[in-house]
Structure 1
């Protein structure tokens, strides 16, 4: 690599890193390599599944770096790593193409809004994301089946659809089917009633990729005959190296009432977990989602919302939709914490008690009085046992009894970081589940605050 080529490439990486989230940069950009620049064409080596991302997101970066270093427009020629099984994959694709005329048309039922590019990556979903990308890149050859489990609203359905959309983008003739386990059961029942089981078998056993959402429904609601049909469908696809991806709210071994032979097959491939997003990931998710709305969200509003919803992404999306309703009704351009709080209270009115408006100072005062420490000591850096307990109980109650965000609570407790508040909250919450004495103390303080 010449000196100018090195300067150019360093500038490309610098610009890309400044414009992308760190996790996105690490996955899509960091392992790319500049081979050469010849005739104003930069030859870049990267994984072939990342080409679409580069084309959609990094063309301006290449142009900028090209004019800065060479004072001319630099175009790109992508080359891809030579994967040993590439020829087999091409052969499989050719076989699929030649036989596709004899197969019935399949509606993939994919949601086009879900892609890898708009999936927000955090520590809690990184492995599931990486495995999903790998499966989309080489279906049927890496992890088969891929089993993704976790609570509701954490992105499992997003990843299922992203896999399917990526495969269809690379091969429009690929036979891909996204379906929930409940709908699979319904289709089975209908085909049994109509005596058209051969049609069902043709539909599912000739797929290239089967994406099944909420497979736990198969254990809860299906008859033995349905599990038998799914077992045979699974075997038919797996034996022909066709990709299967499953999502669930629990691990394969925890799927009660499911035949053991199915549990065994679900464990054949890779099982990955998605856990609730941390504060930083929730902020990133919100910043990504608000691009869909024509309002300006203040930074403190985003942090407030991220602090209020910590169980799943669906709650964050629902909050934004309710904020949209309030903003439209009031004809607002800027979303403040007050607007967001109003929308959230309206959303929770029927399902949970209305949040009492309590100043954090009042919580600190009552906690301090109970434990015999001053508010100043609670806000200080002192680490004596009674002060630490009072401080952590105060943070816990501020989270439980007010609408304030984690950063706001941290600021009121001596300028502490939001992670410190979350740690205190979780610690007191865990102790309360085991220690009746502390629970009585906290309840006593709560009654005095109210």
Structure 2
């Protein structure tokens, strides 16, 4: 590699390392190799087609960012598996990021109307639950009548909850109704990269023309705009773009990992404008929604997932959808290697073991051991814990035991419920959340539970 290619590749690796868990980085990225860059195409050597899928879905953005930073150009990626055979650079294969989707009867748009919309994200394949219902409803309303209903629409929530999916769904729905609409999806980080590139090339007028003539601007992770003290004019440019589009009733949809009031690095005048329209929150999916998400996503895999396996996975990851997707990719790797056609709970547990190690460590402890130790502490029997009697001390012991079973084992909620007299998973979840909230407010209860934990370990 040339010196410049080395700098480029080191930047790609740095971005990947900063955004991926160590386990994921080690498996998917460490063995990758940049062969060369020709005609603005990075030729990247991988050792399996599974890794190619991962790179296309998760790392394309990093090659683009590094390209703008090092080459002041858009560097696309081409993945190869045989270093010696690759001597000619062919046209880069199509990425999942596509131009405006059209039907066979519609005329393709000029190439200067690229939307960056991901065609696979739509409202039909977005799983709704109580935690995202209002965000979905608002997004659909915007798609049906852009620029007139909620403008801007501001969607916030933690990572992996579907914000990017909704942004692209809005864009796809609008383009389905009006293929000639000028729609642009972009992350805040890429907006910064675009600004920096045009600033270096002394071509800011092109950037202004590109963004201020849009019909719909979909901007992801707005919290990533650089701090107001170091923005170098980026916040000013976005402020002016926002004003221009809003004044012409052009739709703006933004996502963030936090409420507008907590965007402390952005200028107050920007934050104020973000609140002109509608602000909606997305929270982590509940158990039923996670089951529905998994049921939907396993359709993309050629394996049979028994109901108990789906429920097991739904019980393992309760913070975001991305973890569920990652778990399925882990399972796909194991199933491919072992040539399986059905995914048992044991196979699923083996596949996600490394991913779980990145989170809280779970000890292999029989639920019965937990019930015995909790019963001894609160002077109740295991039989009483499993029964339906609801005297105060028995209820507390039962809920503490359920809480510890959820905290200290990798059993699914339905499995835990079964071990407590056949109770429903929602009962276990209620007990877990109740004890968790009580611990936060009651130091004496926290000390009691820590004492029980020490006896169980």
The two structures have a TM-score, normalised by structure 2, of 0.74
1:337-390 deviation line (CA, Å, top 9, x unaligned): 1111111212233x2464321111111111111111000000111111111111
Aligned with 1:383 (options 383, 386, 390): 390
Runs of 4 or more above 6 Å deviation: none
Is residue 226–residue 234 contact of structure 2 (8 Å, CA) maintained in 1?
no
SS at match of 1:247: strand
| 1:318 corresponding residue in structure 2 | 326
Q: Distance in 2 between matches of 1:274 and 1:424?
A: 23
How far apart, CA to CA, are the structure 1 residues paired with 2:359 and 2:136? 34
Q: Structure 2 residue aligned with 1:215, among 214, 217, 222?
A: 222
* Equivalent in 156, 159, 173 of residue 152 of structure 1: 159
1:111 and 1:161 in contact (8 A); partners too: yes
Equivalences for 1:78-117 in 2 at 5 Å? 105-117=112-124
3-state SS, counterpart of residue 120 of structure 2: coil
* Residue in structure 2 matching 1:369, options 376, 391, 394: 376
Q: Which residue number corresponds to residue 259 of structure 1?
A: 267
Distance (whole Å) between structure 2 residues aligned to residue 355 and residue 339 of structure 1? 17
Residues in 1 aligned to 2:232 and 2:193: alpha-carbon distance in whole angstroms: 14
How far apart in 1 are the matches of 2:227 and 2:377?
49
Note if contact 1:104-1:203 (Cα within 8 Å) is conserved in structure 2: no
Give yes or no for the alignment of 1:341 onto 2:349: yes
Task: Tell me, yes or no, if structure 1 residue 282 matches structure 2 residue 259.
Answer: no
Report the counterpart of residue 308 of structure 1 in structure 2.
316
Q: CA deviation at 1:112?
A: 0.9
Q: What aligned pairs does 1:144-293 form with structure 2 within 5 A after superposition?
A: 144-218=151-225, 220=227, 223=231, 225-293=233-301
The answer to whether the Cα contact below 8 Å between 1:345 and 1:354 also exists between their aligned partners in 2 is: no
Report what 1:419 is aligned to. 426
Q: Answer whether contact 1:106 1:203 (CA < 8 A) is retained.
A: no
Q: Which runs of 5+ in 1 are unaligned?
A: 1-100
Q: Secondary structure at the match of 1:223?
A: coil
CA distance in 2 between counterparts of 1:353 and 1:121 reads 28
Q: Which has the higher helix share?
A: 1
TM superposition shift of 1:207: 0.5
Alpha-carbon separation, structure 2, partners of 1:260 and 1:104: 37
Question: How far apart, in 2, do the equivalents of 1:303 and 1:430 lie?
Answer: 25
Matches of 2:420 and 2:356, distance apart in 1: 27
Select the residue among 427, 432, 444 that pairs with 1:437: 444
Aligned residues of 2:188 and 2:222 also touching (Cα < 8 A) = yes
SS in 2 for 1:212: strand
- CA shift, 1:224, in A, is 5.3
Stretch deviating more after TM superposition (425-434 or 271-280): 425-434
TM-score by length of 1: 0.75
* Partner of residue 126 from structure 2, selected from 119, 138, 141: 119
Q: State the alpha-carbon separation in 2 of the partners of residues 449 and 325 from structure 1.
A: 35
1:179 counterpart SS class: strand
Return the alpha-carbon distance in structure 1 between the equivalents of residues 216 and 361 of structure 2. Answer: 46
* Post-superposition offset of 1:149: 0.6
